[in-house]
């Protein structure tokens, strides 16, 4: 961008995977910022409730879940009040689910940009995944209130918080990379995503605790990348149980694998985007 | 400074075209494999059978020196936009190699990325970032950008409230303030009204005079001729000519346009629009004796004969035919239609020809472009903007043996002079 003096760019057909040019990506960081800002602004423009929407979704979901799962189905919640149990699980989940939906259609939705302007295409699913973070932090503020109400004091585990947020973002981006790239070629991916997200919710320990799953199957929970993350979110913020490091560890490895493979597939398909989209 | 900043070597680009380009769905893949399990499953990894491959660019090579302004001209589909897209790194070449020295900025479409919900201010930053400018650069040039676009009062209004003119002016203004070392511009002067286009042209000229290397694709020969120094002519993916811009334009118009268009039959021409209710299938010129002529002497009677066919066997109703004559640079000289003369054809048979007779052909000697349109029941049935060239030669319009030149007048008006004394 502006930091190029006299650089030579070579354009020629490339085969297979091309390593990400981190220097180039860094020079486009402003574009990432502006695209994310655009998505956030557009979401809130001309709305009356503005940022309040970020609270409504988790809050009312919590209310409904508490009613049906907490009260009627009598779901166990590791000894803590169900509302806060489910709310802490919902926060990263809602961020993840929204980021996924946005990211999966992000490339196709920006077809006009992709066919007319050059920039590293990874910026598009990345900015789609970033936008939801603002909502996440707004919803966190309600959590603060709830913790006071239920008299929870954050434990040392809270230091893990930035790492967990980072992992959630990475997970969203990774799956986003896969889905957005696949969606360019196979347009029905878009219809698979809502279904995928629904099933994923039930497979993750949002509504129910990991402890409810029989011990010998608990490792399966770890295979779900969001499984370890959500469980650790709870343990670290509420301190009612020790953090299950093995669960978190396995999930982290899965997330990294998803990320690297997603990156690979995305870069491999990137050169065909403008032609196929 | 004669350093080469763009080097294109044996560039080729192939596209897959056909009904199923790209949009395969999982469902289709699955259904196909169920229909003929053995064949389809084996075929899953292979390209779709209906796909055809076309070469949009074939072995293109050229070099551009620093500060040069190169015009890329050619017919629609010649590969000009594909070339720019590859140079802009939007799509990848199939074969070949390109070296670019310096920061590249491309303007393939004006206003891509503008978001209607955001204000002019926000869009300037967003669009600027998309084009590759950084925040400080945009802030530095902000006032200039707003002033050029003439939208000072509306900078904080959402862009969806802008008129289309303001929209384009703003987008172009941001783009025009890009300062890349190499600039790639595609047909962006084709937008906006005449006033805006003049402004854009002037701005383009100032950009090129700043020592930037510019590649300019356009169909507007006047613009290309005035901005560029050199030109290349593309035709069906090949570089047919490389040289000074004037020679390139002449080559394009002579070889490609003129020859092809005279030898290609009108019925096969594809660069036309309209419903097709009635179509032109042939054209020739006759003199007053009915003999075919290639060149029109001004001052004499000339007949322009248009062969037509109608789509329906019952012919067509209320048909209007008109001709548009322009100078080579696109400036219109005159139009003459049946509706001017009040001679609408109420019913025409499926096959026939329509003749336009002009007595004392009134144009000064030179080359003109002829376009023709047919309307049926007030619907545009066939419109070919550039049917052919008319070569007009001196036929002594005034009978005075005076050779009237193109810079004196274009139209020869049938008038006489007399002098009367006052007592």
Q: Across the interface, do B23 and A45 touch by the CB < 8 Å criterion?
A: no
Sequence ranges of the domains in chain B: 4-14+57-258, 268-393
Tokens of A23: 């220097």
Lowest mean pLDDT among A147-156, B7-16, B123-132, B320-329: A147-156
- List CB contacts (< 8 A) between B25 and chain A: 186-188
Q: Which of B331, B376, B334 is closest to B356 using CA atoms?
A: B334
C-alpha R_g of chain B: 27
Please indicate whether, in this complex, the C-beta atoms of B134 and A118 are within 8 angstroms of each other: no
Partner B contacted by A90 (CB < 8 A): no
Mean pLDDT is lowest, of A183-192, B6-15, B254-263, for: B254-263
Q: Which of residues 20-59 of A touch B (CB under 8 A)?
A: 30-31, 33-35, 38, 41-42, 45-46
In angstroms, what separates the C-alpha of A257 from chain B's closest C-alpha? 24
Distance from CA of A101 to the nearest CA of B (A): 19
Mean pLDDT of B153-175: 88
Q: What is the ipTM of this complex?
A: 0.83
CA distance A88 to A58: 9
Residue in A248, A241, A220, A244 with CA at minimum distance from that of residue A78: A241
Are B327 and B333 within 8 A, CB to CB? yes
Q: With a CB-CB cutoff of 8 Å, which residues 110-139 of chain B face chain A?
A: 112-113, 115, 117-118, 122, 125-126, 129-137
**Top-level CATH class of B268-393?**
mainly beta
d(CA B144, CA B236): 41
Q: What is the C-alpha to C-alpha distance for residues B232 and B42, in angstroms, rounded to an integer? A: 46
Q: Do A45 and B117 touch (CB under 8 A)?
A: yes
Decide: helix, strand or coil at residue A219: helix
Q: Six-digit token pair at B307?
A: 């062969």
Give A70-78's long-range contacts (Cβ < 8 A, gap of 24+): A75/A207, A75/A208, A75/A212, A76/A208, A76/A209, A76/A211, A76/A212, A77/A209, A78/A209, A78/A211, A78/A234, A78/A240, A78/A241
Q: Which CATH class is domain B4-14+57-258?
A: alpha beta
Beta strands in B236-365 (DSSP E): 238-244, 278-287, 292-293, 295-297, 302-310, 316-327, 332-337, 345-348, 351-358
When CB atoms are compared, the residue of A13, A34, A46 closest to B92 is: A13
**DSSP conformation class of B399:** S
Q: How far apart are CA A182 and CA A178, in angstroms?
A: 6
pLDDT tens track, chain A, 277 positions: 333 345 788 888 887 667 778 888 888 888 999 999 998 888 887 777 777 888 888 999 999 999 999 888 888 888 888 999 999 999 999 999 999 999 999 999 899 899 989 999 999 999 999 988 999 998 988 888 888 888 888 777 788 899 999 999 999 999 999 999 999 988 888 888 999 999 999 999 999 998 888 888 887 888 899 999 999 999 888 888 888 888 899 999 999 999 999 999 999 888 888 888 8
Of A167, A131, A175, A126, the C-alpha closest to A20 is A126
In sequence order, the 6+-apart residues with CB closer than 8 A to the CB of B292 are B284, B285, B286
3-state secondary structure of B334: strand
CA distance B60 to A269: 25
Closest to A113 (Cβ–Cβ): which among B21, B87, B130? B130
DSSP secondary structure code for residue B48 in this structure: P
Q: Judge: A1–B132 Cβ closer than 8 Å, yes or no.
A: yes
**In sequence order, which ranges of B252-397 are alpha helices (DSSP H)?**
260-263, 338-341
Instruction: Read off the tokens for B29.
Output: 């893949």
Query: Given this model, what pLDDT does residue B51 score?
Result: 62
Higher-pLDDT residue of B164 and A93 is: A93
> Residue A23, Cα to own-chain centre: how many angstroms?
25
Is B99's CB within 8 Å of A185's CB?
Answer: no
Contact assignment for A38 to B25 by CB distance below 8 Å: no
- The lowest-confidence range among A68-72, A77-81, B260-264, B322-326 is B260-264
Average of per-residue pLDDT across B331-352: 90
What is the reported pLDDT for B22?
A: 47
pLDDT at B129 over 80: yes
From B51's Cα to the closest Cα of chain A, the distance in A is 13
B89–A11: do the CB atoms touch at under 8 Å?
Answer: yes
Q: Do A117 and B129 touch (CB under 8 A)?
A: no
* Number of separate helices (H) and strands (E) present in chain B: 11, 19
């Amino acid at each position: 961008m502006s930091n190029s003096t006299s650089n030579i760019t070579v354009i020629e057909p490339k085969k297979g995977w091309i390593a990400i040019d981190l220097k180039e990506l860094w020079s486009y960081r402003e574009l990432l910022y502006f695209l994310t800002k655009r998505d956030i602004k557009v979401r809130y423009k001309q709305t009356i409730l503005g940022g309040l929407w970020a609270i409504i979704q988790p809050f009312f979901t919590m209310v409904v879940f508490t009613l049906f799962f907490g009260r009627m189905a009598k779901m166990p919640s590791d000894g803590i009040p169900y509302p806060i149990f489910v709310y802490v699980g919902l926060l990263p989940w809602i961020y993840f689910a929204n980021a996924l939906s946005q990211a999966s259609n992000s490339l196709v939705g920006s077809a006009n940009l992709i066919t007319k302007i050059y920039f590293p295409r990874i910026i598009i699913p990345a900015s789609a995944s970033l936008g939801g973070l603002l909502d996440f932090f707004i919803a966190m503020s309600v959590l603060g209130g709830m913790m006071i109400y239920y008299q929870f004091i954050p434990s040392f585990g809270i230091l893990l918080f930035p790492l967990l947020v980072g992992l959630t973002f990475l997970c969203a981006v990774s799956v986003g990379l896969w889905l957005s790239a696949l969606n360019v070629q196979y347009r029905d991916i878009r219809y698979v995503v809502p279904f995928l997200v629904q099933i994923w919710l039930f497979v993750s320990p949002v509504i129910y605790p990991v402890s409810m799953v029989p011990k010998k199957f608990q490792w399966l929970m770890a295979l779900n990348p969001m499984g370890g993350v959500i469980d650790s979110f709870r343990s670290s913020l509420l301190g009612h149980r020790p953090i299950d490091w093995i669960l978190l560890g396995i999930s982290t490895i899965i997330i990294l694998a998803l990320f690297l493979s997603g990156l690979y597939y995305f870069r491999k398909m990137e050169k065909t985007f403008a032609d196929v989209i | 400074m004669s350093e080469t900043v763009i080097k294109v070597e044996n560039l080729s680009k192939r596209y897959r075209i056909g009904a199923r380009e790209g949009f395969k769905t999982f469902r289709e893949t699955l259904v196909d494999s169920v229909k003929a399990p053995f064949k389809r499953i084996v075929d899953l990894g292979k390209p779709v059978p209906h796909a055809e491959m076309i070469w949009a660019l074939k072995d293109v090579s050229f070099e551009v020196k620093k500060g040069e302004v190169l015009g890329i001209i050619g017919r629609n589909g010649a590969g000009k936009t594909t070339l720019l897209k590859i140079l802009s790194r939007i799509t990848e070449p199939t074969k070949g190699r390109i070296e670019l020295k310096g920061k590249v900025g491309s303007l393939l479409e004006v206003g891509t990325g503008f978001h209607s919900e955001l204000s002019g201010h926000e869009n300037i930053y967003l669009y600027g970032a998309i084009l590759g400018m950084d925040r400080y650069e945009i802030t530095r040039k902000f006032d200039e950008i707003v002033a050029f676009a003439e939208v000072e009062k509306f900078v904080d209004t959402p862009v969806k409230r802008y008129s289309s003119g303001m929209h384009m002016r703003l987008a172009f203004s941001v783009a025009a303030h890009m300062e890349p070392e190499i600039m790639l511009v595609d047909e962006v002067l084709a937008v906006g009204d005449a006033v805006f286009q003049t402004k854009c042209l002037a701005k383009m000229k100032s950009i090129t005079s700043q020592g930037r290397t510019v590649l300019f694709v356009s169909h507007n020969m006047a613009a290309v001729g005035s901005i560029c120094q050199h030109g290349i002519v593309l035709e069906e993916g090949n570089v047919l000519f490389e040289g000074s811009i004037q020679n390139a334009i002449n080559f394009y118009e002579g070889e490609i346009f003129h020859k092809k268009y005279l030898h290609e039959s009108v019925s096969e021409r594809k660069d036309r629009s309209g419903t097709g209710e009635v179509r032109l299938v042939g054209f020739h010129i006759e003199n007053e004796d009915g003999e075919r002529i290639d060149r029109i002497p001004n001052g004499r009677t000339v007949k322009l004969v248009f062969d037509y066919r109608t789509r329906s066997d019952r012919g067509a109703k209320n048909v209007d035919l008109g001709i548009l004559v322009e100078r080579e640079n696109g400036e219109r000289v005159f139009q003459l239609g049946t509706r001017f003369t009040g001679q609408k054809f109420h019913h025409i048979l499926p096959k026939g020809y329509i003749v336009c007779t002009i007595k004392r052909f009134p144009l000064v000697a030179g080359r003109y472009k002829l376009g023709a349109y047919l309307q049926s029941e007030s619907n545009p049935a066939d419109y070919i903007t550039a049917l052919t060239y008319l070569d007009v030669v001196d036929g002594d319009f005034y009978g005075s043996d005076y050779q009237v030149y193109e810079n004196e007048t274009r139209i020869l008006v049938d008038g006489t002079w007399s002098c009367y004394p006052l007592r």
